[in-house]
Amino acid sequence: MPKFVDGYLSYLLAAASERVSREFHRQLRPYGLSVANWRVLATLSDGDALSVGALARIVLFQQPTLTKLLARMAKARLVELRADPADRRRTLVRISAAGRKKVRPLLGMAKAHERACLASYSAAEVAKVKAILEDLLRRSETR
Amino acid sequence: MPKFVDGYLSYLLAAASERVSREFHRQLRPYGLSVANWRVLATLSDGDALSVGALARIVLFQQPTLTKLLARMAKARLVELRADPADRRRTLVRISAAGRKKVRPLLGMAKAHERACLASYSAAEVAKVKAILEDLLRRSETR
DNA sequence: GCGTATTATATGCCGTTTCATGCAATCGGA
DNA sequence: TCCGATTGCATGAAACGGCATATAATACGC
């Protein structure tokens, strides 16, 4: 009995995303990190400070959600928050030393997980899929 | 400053999924349906009854989340719940007449939205991406 | 420079999700 | 057929997210 959702783009994307990230989530749990924590730390792992809004757009959270998440992460000493001296409306977020230490082993695990997921596809196939996903994102930015 | 997430499969999937479904969500709001309601109704729209667990696997919700969602939807008369006579542990879920009426126009809108998202790709490109997403799902079932 | 519009973040309230667990029905082996 | 294991769903407490809105800083037109 085929369901409406079968083959429906939105569903395929949601299902694939859910599966892939849930699998990785299982690897994250021993480290005491949620997927949300992971995304924030991974995004900040290069050391640059970002404003709350810029970070929210990258990690796909609404701004109030991220503000509250950051408050919890700051309390856990994973990130540091400070007002932007150049524009005091802004709050800059930076990863802490503890956050960096916590996220470092996970960066490699994430890449390994991706390789495992994609192992049976050719480089061309992977590139094609990623290109279309990136293109979908670019196009939807203006909508 | 490229971020870790750039080009990362899990991120691309999450971002593409989020964008596509958020756009459709805006179209859903006038109908008073959340994305969760929509997924349940769309899945049940062919008339078949499903158990709570089977439905949860399809719509990608955890079982307790779906149980509570279904309770709300049953109160709103969108679905009907009854014990499975063949296995009384199971609860069968079926769409109601009101639910069917509510979801019918949305099925066409969903297909139109998908066409709009994919308009600039060839049929072969679309087929390729969907095939890989479906394959990713199948493979991850056993993991 | 003044008042208004705009941008950036924080907050409050409330509904929802999650995790752990409970309870009941069914299964399966001896 | 009995009993432990398993399966399926429900539930309670606590954490979380979403929406609307408040607050504060900056930009902009005159």
Q: Is the pLDDT of residue B143 over 50?
A: no
Interface check for B119 against chain A (CB to CB < 8 A): the answer is no
Q: Is the pLDDT of residue A137 over 50?
A: yes
Cβ atoms A36, A74 nearer than 8 A: no
Burial (Cβ within 10 Å: 0-12, 13-18, ≥19) of residue B57: middle
Q: Is the pLDDT of residue A81 over 50?
A: yes
Q: Is the pLDDT of residue A111 over 70?
A: yes
Give B141 or A34, the one with higher predicted confidence. A34
**Six token digits for residue A76:** 């856990």
Cβ atoms A12, B134 nearer than 8 A: yes
Chain A, 10 to 69: residues with Cβ < 8 Å from chain B are: 10-21, 23-24, 39, 42-43, 45-46, 48, 58-60
Q: Give the pLDDT score at A143.
A: 44
Burial (Cβ within 10 Å: 0-12, 13-18, ≥19) of residue B47: exposed
Is B76 (CB) below 7 Å from strand C? no
Q: Give the pLDDT score at A141.
A: 66
Distance CA B20, CA A136 (A): 9
Contacts of A12 by beta carbon, 8 Å cutoff, 6+ apart:
B130, B133, B134, B137
Looking at residues A130-134, what average pLDDT do you find? 93
In residues, how long is chain A? 143
Q: What does residue A54 show for φ and ψ, rounded to 5 degrees?
A: -65, -40
Q: At what angle do helices A35-44 and A97-118 cross, to 10 degrees?
A: 110
Render pLDDT for B54-75 as a digit per residue (tens, 0 to 9). Answer: 999 999 999 999 999 999 999 9
Q: Is the pLDDT of residue B12 over 80?
A: yes
Distance CA B115, CA B119 (A): 6
Is B91 (CB) below 7 Å from strand D? yes
Nucleotide nearest to A90 (CA to C1'): C8
**Six token digits for residue A26:** 């299982």
How large a percentage of chain A has pLDDT more than 90?
78
Q: Give the pLDDT score at B3.
A: 65
* Rg of chain B in Å (alpha carbons): 17
DSSP state letters, A84-105:
-TT-TT-EEEEE-HHHHHHHHH
Distance CA A131, CA B125 (A): 11
Taking CB atoms and an 8 Å cutoff, what residues of chain B touch A130?
Answer: 7, 9, 12
Instruction: Parse chain B into domains and list their residue ranges.
Output: 9-142
Question: Which CATH code of 1.10.3720.10, 3.40.50.1370, 1.10.10.10, 3.30.830.10 fits the domain covering B9-142?
Answer: 1.10.10.10
| Protein residue with the closest CA to the C1' atom of nucleotide D12 | B64
**Six token digits for residue B127:** 């087929």
User: Tokens 């109908």 map to which residue?
Assistant: B31
